[in-house]
Structure formats: structure tokens, C-alpha cells
Chain A
Amino acid sequence: MNALISAEADLADVASVLAGDVRAFEGIVRRWQGPLVNMAWRYCRDRGRAEEMAQEAFIRAWRGLSHWRRESSFSTWLFALAANVYRSELKRIPTETLPLDAAPEPCGAATQHCESEKRERYDGVRRAVMALPLRYREPVILYYFQEMDLAAAARTMGLPEGTLKARLSRARALLRQRFPHLQEMKDEHDPLEYSTLETGKEATN
């Protein structure tokens, strides 16, 4: 319902901007500033730079508003445009990231209940995502961080769904290789316990 309202509001604002009302663009910025700044932040992990990148994306959107052909939703068009801006920005000035092997291995099951340990583990995985090559990092950002579905992420990146799926799978494989001990971590939300696997094996034997 909210998405529907947003889509309608976007359409109305775009029509007003194209009719010459520059101030109508404020509505668009207000609605999309959060998602675009967050997306930029996930690309570069630098707050100041993220806002600069998001600002550039909004300006490009304003310039290119008349080129939006309404074949896809406004949000898809905006995200695709923003992704292009962020990608070229990162190519121009790459972020300083640790190599994937240097990302610290998260701690094991014994200490995981400690909040700081948990945060450390989460940060480790996020740093590892940042260390992925951009072709694998971008699908992870859009699919997991931005919570887009496969089709939306593929449209945003201008790739076929199959290619995006393959890149996601490769990214996960790289992360799995880097963090083999993640399987040992007990999670209160995860119904699948490692012990059940062992029990299952014994029972079948």
C-alpha cells in the first residue's frame, strides 16, 4: 500500500517537475533520500561520501527526468541510475578496503552471546563483503542490504536474472570460504541446529 502511494506520489511529482515546478522535486528527494543515502553508504562505507554520492544521483535524476520512459517504476529507474553513479564514483576513487583474506574471522560459538562479540562478527562479515570485487559486491548490496528481490536487483544492475543469481552464488561461496566457522555459530532465530545434523547422521546410520 505504501509502495503504491509512493509510486503515485512519484508520478505526480515527476509530472509537476516536467511542467516546470522545480520545487516538486523536493517530494522525490524527501521520499528517496533515506534509501539512496543508505545504498551509497553500503557501496562506500563512508557517511560523508555516501551523501555526496546520493546528492549526485539526485542531480542526475533531475537532469534525466524527461528520459524516464515509464517502462519500469520510478523507484527502479532511480535505483538503476543511482547504482550507475555509485559504480562510476567507486571506479573513479576506489574505497580503501582490506583484502578478503585480511577480514578478521568471526569468533566461535563459545563467545557468541556477548553483544560486542556479535557486533564484531557482523562487522567482520560486512568488511568481507566490502572486500569482494565490485561485480560480486554489488549484487550482495542490492539483494541483501537493499532487500531487493532478484528481478529488481537484476533490473537495477541491467543484468539478466541468471547472471545476477550466478554472481550472488559466487559471492556467497567466497564468503563461505572466508568464514568456514559460521556454521558453528548457534543462532536463536535459526531452527536448524548443527546438532540435528549430527543426530540425523547417526539415526540414518
Chain B
Amino acid sequence: MKATETIRADEDSGGVERSAKIETRIETRIETRIETRIETRIESQIERILAAEDELIPTSGFLASVMERIQEEAAAPPPIPFPWKRALPGALLAAGTAGWGAVELMQSGSLKLDLAARNSFTLAMLHPSAALVSSAESAGWVALALGASLLSWLLARRLAGLGGPL
């Protein structure tokens, strides 16, 4: 008898729990549904407001002013492209000179380091005639300056389209 009552009580409490769970689930579902519908409603309000905007009509002079600018652009000479073909020899020459200068600098740097490592006697042996070396150096610089001037003149003529041996 007692056992039957216990089973019945268990069944009752199980039933209550189950119905409570179902109720909670239904409530959650309803709340979610309501939230979704509210969100949809807000979105549809926003959409309506954004879509209901009046059209702006361009001013009467707009078309004319655009076409005026277009005509100006069309009448203007096309931009002169950079003369890569003509500039190429000059660029190569400049790159060569820069490279040569860099090599010379590195060599003189290593020579200085080398000389510093040796004694003064070796230094004297490397420069047997200071006057000769000095005059040769001066002549070299003058020749280099003249060559650079000649090259820049020729390059300028070539870039200007006057022709030339380059």
C-alpha cells in the first residue's frame, strides 16, 4: 500500500516537473519569438524611414558644369609621358658612376685600414713621389669634371629631342 503511494507520489512529482519544464520551454520560445518580432518590427521601421527619403534634384546648372569640365579635359593636351627610353642611358650612366664611386670608396676604406695596420715605413713605400701623385690626382678630377659636363650636355640635348650622338 505504502509502496503504491510512494510510486504515485513520485509519478505526481515527475509530472509536475515535466509540466514545469514544458512551461519554461514554451515561455522561452514565446519570449524568443517576441524578441525576434520586436527586432523585425524595429528593423522594418528603420527600413521604412530610410527608404522614405525624398529625392534630391540636381541643380539646373549641374549638367552644364560637368560637361564644361569634360570639354576642358578633352581639350587639354594629353599628359607627356616620362621619356624612359631617352632617360635610360642617363640612368644607366648615373647608376654606373654611383656603383664605381661606391667600389672606390670601399677600396680606399680597406686600403686605409690596411695601411693603419702597417708601420710608417710601408706607408712611405706606397707613396714614393707625393708631387707626382698629387698632380695626377688633380688631372684626373679635371678630366672627370669635363667628362661629366659633356655627358650632361649631351643628355640634356637628347631629352629635349634635339638629337645627338647618344
Give A contacts to B, CB under 8 Å. 22-23, 25-26, 29-30, 33-34, 37-38, 41-42, 47, 50-51, 54-55, 58-59, 62-63, 121-122, 125-126, 129, 140, 144-145, 147, 172, 175-176, 179-180, 182-183, 185, 187, 189-190, 192, 194, 197, 200-201, 204-205
Which B11-60 residues have C-beta < 8 A from chain A?
A: 26, 30, 33-34, 37-53, 55-59
How far apart sit A183 and B38, CA to CA, in the bound complex (Å)?
6
Can you list, as one digit per residue, whether each of B55-83 has a CB less than 8 Å from chain A (1) or not (0)? 11111001101110111011000000000
Q: A34-B55, A147-B51, A190-B44 are in contact. Are A62 and B37 (CB under 8 A)?
A: no
Residues of B in contact, count (CB < 8 Å):
36
Contact B58 A33 (CB under 8 A): yes
Q: Which residues of B contact A23 (CB under 8 A)?
A: 67
How far apart sit A83 and B59, CA to CA, in the bound complex (Å)?
21
How far apart sit A82 and B34, CA to CA, in the bound complex (Å)?
41
Q: Which of A47, A62, A183 contacts B56 (CB 8 A)?
A: A47
Contact A179 B65 (CB under 8 A): no
Q: How far is the CB of B77 from chain A (nearest CB, A)?
A: 15
* CB nearest to A35 among chain B residues: B55
Contact B42 A201 (CB under 8 A): no
Q: Which residues of B contact A192 (CB under 8 A)?
A: 37, 40-41, 44
Interface of B is mostly: helix
Contact B34 A55 (CB under 8 A): no
Known: A47-B56, A122-B52. 20 other contacts (CB 8 A): A22-B70, A23-B67, A26-B67, A29-B66, A33-B62, A34-B55, A38-B56, A55-B62, A55-B66, A58-B66, A121-B49, A125-B49, A144-B51, A145-B53, A175-B46, A183-B42, A185-B45, A189-B48, A190-B44, A192-B41
Contact A51 B59 (CB under 8 A): yes
Q: Which of A41, A51, A129, A180 contacts B50 (CB 8 A)?
A: A129
Q: How far is the CB of A122 from chain B (nearest CB, A)?
A: 5
Contact A172 B43 (CB under 8 A): yes
Write 9 A-B pairs (CB below 8 A) sorted by A numbering. A25-B70, A29-B63, A34-B57, A37-B56, A59-B70, A172-B46, A179-B46, A182-B42, A197-B34
How far apart sit A143 and B26, CA to CA, in the bound complex (Å)?
36
* CB nearest to B29 among chain A residues: A204
| Max count, chain A CB within 10 A of own CB: residue among B37, B50, B55 | B50
Contact B41 A183 (CB under 8 A): yes
Contact A33 B37 (CB under 8 A): no
Q: Which of B43, B48, B59, B73 contacts A62 (CB 8 A)?
A: B73
Q: Which of B56, B58, B69 contacts A59 (CB 8 A)?
A: B69
Contact B48 A201 (CB under 8 A): no
| Max count, chain A CB within 10 A of own CB: residue among B38, B40, B41, B58 | B58
Q: Which residues of A contact B63 (CB under 8 A)?
A: 26, 29-30, 33
